[in-house]
Chain A
Amino acid sequence: MKRNVILRINNEEYTVLTKTNRTLLEVLREDLHLTGTKEGCGEGVCGSCTVLLDGRPVRSCLLLVTEAEGREIKTIEGLAKEGRLDPIQEAFIEHHAIQCGFCSPGMILTGYALLKENPRATEEEIRFAISGNICRCTGYVKIVEAIRSLSTSEGRR
């Protein structure tokens, strides 16, 4: 069954005529061309498809598109403002926290959400927060450094 689904993504409203059994990930990527959100496993393990739903990180591959109606969705494309990168994006670039880049959108959004909720996040809290985002390239060292550089906790590098 198809119907119009109204989505609020990155502060803009989209009306999508779609089957209701599709995931938010599919609609973002295929209908709205927001391909910054990646599909790494399609079963909620790798975290590459992470988007923010009302500010909290969720796996868009496990979320039916209808469940996202009426919520505030933020994807990686919505992080930079007026051509300026968000500080977390700058930190990831500056700290070499990005190698192949496939996990980066999900990783960056997870870090962004953590710091909004807990601006003083410690290294341990950061590692816990990104434990559901798998990176095969970096060994996580520079990702943790990048997020930590924006945390106001004591002892950050």
Chain B
Amino acid sequence: MVDYALIGKGIRRVDTTAKATGEALFSADLKLPRMLVGKILRSPYAHARIVHIDTSKAERLPGVKAVITGKDVPDERWGVFRYTQDQRFLPVDKVRYVGEEVAAVAAVDEDTAIEALKLIDVEYEELPAVFDIESALKPDAPLIHDAYPGNINISVDINVGDVEKGFLESFYIREDAFEAPEDSYFQGEPYAVVAHFDSSGNLEIWMPNAGPHLKAKPLSNVLKIPLNKVRVRKITIGGAFGGRSEISPADVICAFLAKKSARPVKIVYSREENSIATRQAHSMKATIKTGVDREGRVLARDITCYMDGGAYSSTGPIAVSVPFLCMEQAYRMDNVRYRGYRIFTNKPIRGMFRVHGRAFACGIDLQLDLIGKELGFDPLEMRLKNARRPGDYTPTKSKVVSCGMVEAIERAAEKARWREKWDRLPPYHGIGIGCNSVQTGFPMGIRGGSQAFIKFNEDGGVTVITGIVDNGQGNDNMIVQIAAEELGLKVEDIQLINADTEVTPSDPGSYSMCETFVGGNAVRLAAQDAKRKLLKIASEAMKVEPERLAMRDRKIYVIDRPQEAISISRVVRMALSRRENISGEGSYWPKVDSNREWVTNPFGQLSETFSFGAVIAEVKIDPETGKVDVLEVTAAQDVGYAINPKVIEGQFEGGVAMGGQGGMLSEKVLWYGGRVLNPDQLDYMVPIAPGMPKINDIIVETNDPGGPYGAKEAGMSVAMSAAQAYASAICNALGVYIHEFPLTPDKILKAIKEKEEGKNR
């Protein structure tokens, strides 16, 4: 075990003092001189042609400084891939969901802006609309985009091995269908943007983002200005969970309002706008057919999954693939066919969520429980029989280098006392397990690498420059902890400049769970580069080979004679007096197959490494009310190596709340046609403090050979496996397997009733 000074320690996060005092500024907190208030007019129709927009009355209202419609914004379309670019930031032809942006104003205050919105006349010609997958797929369904016949946005077809032969050889086969409605992000911070142009045509813009560079490029495209004029600034970000990675029409609208008014503009979304007009998560229907041998090992799987994508492509090809990819990583399945479809409907746009694919993942796990029940194996045995092992290849040909799946399952089972409890719990008590695996970075083309710089001052202090962004998960601290460790400095010696596109080099963003792995590696390499320069100078001064020197406590010392030391600041000054500067540069590109493509070629190394985890939940159900009381949850995940264990625990605990407590007990979007009935926290019901279970965190470390200090993904896996474990535990308590999530009291009472009726028959 390496003796690190800071790595592996649960030190205080560098960002939290400012957050505890109110000093940390979020986008909505910014105030610039002469700043205007921006407001967006949204479509009241789910599907309608825009016949005419008259903004003249709004423009004449005193205090209104700019009004824009689709005509003011160039015809640049958003979609993550060239073949999915289908969303104009302000549409000109038609609107496709209730809440879509139609026009916008900037005015001296909020009241004037709201008044101006009322004065915009929009003539719509309403079109027939579709609100669910079945209706959208009917032959006579209204077409939402001309370019997508049948409203089929994306089709992914993966066929590995010989599925038919696998079924023929199977001892037992079953097919089940699972479904779940839309869920939603409910980040603490509602979306907000501030934009400002200077007289040289440089854009400064602040907004919650999961990668400033992911925002800058589409802004550069639509504004027709070079990238070095788009300055996406660092700002505190109030949570993302997958929902802040794409450009938002609000970013573009705010920039155009600022340009037209020649004044800074701020748009702050209401909670309702954040729920409807940022992103929602997909609703999903998954049909899973699985064949196993006598021992319960999976021989073949055939999976078909339909996802409601809402009105535009967004991250479509990735969203269709990831639920399958997580499960093909988590469990061995040599012969497998996956058909995934993302269908357009006239509903808000769907993106990637931390609990993405709950119907899919819970379906795979619940079906393993059902199969085990038939064959006489408990869920734990079923997981162990099928668990992914190190050295394996996934069906789509990713090598699994480090893998602690079995260890995670075993340690969770031991802590949760599974073997004592299984089959021995009182009536309406249940225990269940869920397993998952998550990527540590996707192939992201020219955006896939991260670069970092280190600057040394003559007093030994350091500034780190990197594109890594912090959405709240602790990435700023991760950067500082790594740089301080490598350079033998204290945390307070490190200053950070990050997530600012004017200054910081490109980075994939806090997207695809890769910031620690990719960005962290780049920071480490940059620090090592600077360290090499310092050690060379120190080695000459101390007359010791550089390999025999190390850095710690602001000193460079001889490893086997620690009393022989020289301060780092002195070595920096020595360098400067020799007319040499001490700086460092590092970049890291994950080893992924750049030929892998989500639809056309879904084979090859998807991610350099993967996380693996298991969650066990124990529940008690009140058969009178259908209410679930979650007694204890044990979350175990192979995170490679815990750079800061306290940060990791926070990810696990937040994951249990979001995926399990929320994702399986209450969270779902309610609809009236295309209208969201519960865009607020009260009616959507995110978890609150009372009722949360006791959570045991188990950090499994497999020391990934490619990760910084062995680290890999840590923020998403538990959220998903918690949903699976909750579903498994509740069904175990009921003795009935429910195929529709979340498992709300109405479904539980119905299941109990049907079970009783079955008994009495």
Contact = CB atoms under 8 A, between A and B. Distances in A.
Interface of A: 29-30, 33-43, 45-46, 48, 75-77, 79-80, 85, 89, 92-94, 96, 98-105, 108, 124, 126-128, 130-144
Nearest to B660: A139
Given A142-B653, A144-B689, A99 B22 contact: no
B597 to A, nearest CB: 33
B17 A93 contact: yes
B28 interface: yes
27 contacts: A30-B31, A37-B22, A41-B271, A46-B188, A89-B21, A92-B20, A93-B20, A96-B13, A99-B239, A100-B188, A102-B188, A102-B239, A128-B690, A130-B689, A131-B690, A134-B686, A134-B688, A135-B188, A136-B188, A136-B686, A139-B657, A139-B658, A139-B692, A140-B692, A141-B650, A142-B649, A142-B653
Nearest to B691: A127
Nearest to B683: A45
Contacts of B656: 139
A136 B684 CA distance: 13
Given A99-B650, A127-B689, A137-B650, A94 B188 contact: no
Interface in B226-248: 236-239, 241
Given A46-B271, A139-B658, A139-B687, 9 more contacts: A40-B188, A77-B21, A93-B13, A96-B647, A102-B188, A133-B689, A136-B658, A139-B692, A141-B653
Nearest to B23: A36
B22 A77 contact: yes
Contact of B472 (A38, A101, A127): A101
Contact of A96 (B31, B187, B646, B689): B646
B653 A139 contact: yes
Contacts of A76: 20-22
Secondary structure class of chain A's binding surface, majority of residues = loop
A94 B29 CA distance: 26
Contacts of B13: 93, 96, 98
Contacts, number: 179
Interface in B423-444: none
Nearest to B236: A101
Contacts of B681: 41, 45-46, 134
Nearest to A124: B690
B689 A85 contact: no
A46 B687 CA distance: 11
A-B pairs with lowest CB-CB distance, top 8: A36-B22, A100-B472, A101-B19, A102-B188, A102-B238, A139-B653, A139-B657, A35-B29
Interface residues of B, number: 56
B15 interface: yes
B654 A138 contact: yes
B680 A41 contact: yes
Contacts of B241: 136
Contacts of B187: 100, 102, 136
Contact of A141 (B658, B688, B692): B692
B20 A85 contact: yes
B472 to A, nearest CB: 3
Nearest to A77: B22
Nearest to B656: A139
Contacts of B680: 41, 43, 45
A37 B23 CA distance: 10
A60 to B, nearest CB: 13
B22 A105 contact: yes
Contacts of B24: 101
Contacts of B646: 96, 142
B165 interface: no
Contacts of B189: 38, 40, 100, 102
A24 to B, nearest CB: 15
A42 B649 contact: no
Contacts of B28: 35, 38-39
A141 B271 CA distance: 25
A72 B382 CA distance: 61
A40 B650 contact: no
A34 B655 CA distance: 32
A98 B20 contact: yes
A136 B651 CA distance: 11
B689 A131 contact: yes
B15 A101 contact: yes
B511 interface: no
